[in-house]
Amino acid sequence: MSAQRPFAIAHRAGNTLLGLHTAEHAGADWVEADIWRHRGALEVRHLKTMGPVPLLWDRWRLVRASAPRLHVDELLAAAVPGTRFMFDLKGRDRRLPADLVSAFEASGRTAPYMVSSQSWGLLEHFRDIPGVPVAHSVGGPLQLRRVWKRLTWHDRPVVSIHFKLLNARTVGRLKERASGVITWPINTPEQLQKVIEWGIDGFTSDSLDLIRDYTAAAGQGAVPPG
């Protein structure tokens, strides 16, 4: 990682076109988008399907499956040329990575992107693709225990880890074996100051106000991980 300031990722902002444009306007360094492969199409959403039940769901939210869905090609076409995406790969469909690479190449975009996932298998596809940082997503203690064994390939991959699992010592240990550490969700100035002091390389936030204030004060200089 560069010694320059930690980069700011707009959490799930790429899941709608309104969120995308708002994050771009706020100065986010990266825009996160959740990607599923469903019936041969790459859909941008955090909501999950319910098999034969015609609904999409996520915790306390239900949406009719017939509602319009954003697709990756639409998202890429709507983004300004310099927007950098962090694609969070969802599900278990092993065809998703190759389809995403093809969609990105077809878009003609030149800005870098990175991928993250809690599914190790989906990340394997990117091992030999230069210039695409790979982030192992760690959301709980069991995943943290497992991730130490995974930090041996893809030329020191990135770790994207929940704030509740971190302290200064853990950040230091991870940075000895990973190319960078991203943490989430960072939604207050107090949390942000703490993780910067710990030495994180990037943070993911639901608060575009926090990102706007941070990037305005910190100025340019954030760089891709890896």
Whole-number Cα distances in Å, 38 to 23, 44, 71, 99, 152: 26, 10, 10, 11, 31
174 class by beta-carbon count within 10 Å (0-12 exposed, 13-18 middle, 19+ buried)? buried
Q: Give domain status of residue 224, yes or no.
A: no
Rounded Cα–Cα distance for residues 204 and 200 (Å): 11
Amino acid 102: pLDDT: 97
Angle at 173 between CA 222 and CA 134, to 5 degrees: 50
Q: Give domain status of residue 109, yes or no.
A: yes
**Up-side HSE of residue 90: CA atoms within 13 Å toward CB?**
17
- In tens, the pLDDT along 144-192 reads 998 888 787 556 789 999 999 999 999 999 999 999 999 999 999 999 9
Q: Give domain status of residue 223, yes or no.
A: no
Amino acid 127: pLDDT: 84
Residue 19 has pLDDT above 60, yes or no: yes
Rounded Cα–Cα distance for residues 220 and 154 (Å): 28
Owner of token pair 């993780």: 195
Amino acid 109: pLDDT: 96
Share of the chain above pLDDT 70, in %: 84
Closest CA to 32 of 16, 43, 52: 16
Total count of domains within the chain = 1
CATH number at residue 48: 3.20.20.190
Element (H, E) at 62: strand 61-64
Biggest CA pair distance of the chain: 49
Owner of token pair 């940075």: 175
Global pTM? 0.89
- In tens, the pLDDT along 37-94 reads 988 999 998 544 545 544 344 555 554 544 568 999 999 999 999 999 999 999 989 9
Q: Give domain status of residue 2, yes or no.
A: no
55: β partners: 64
Average pLDDT, the chain: 87
Amino acid 150: pLDDT: 78
Please give the residue range of the domain that contains residue 101.
7-218
Q: Give domain status of residue 165, yes or no.
A: yes
Amino acid 219: pLDDT: 73
Q: Give domain status of residue 206, yes or no.
A: yes
Residue 218 has pLDDT above 50, yes or no: yes
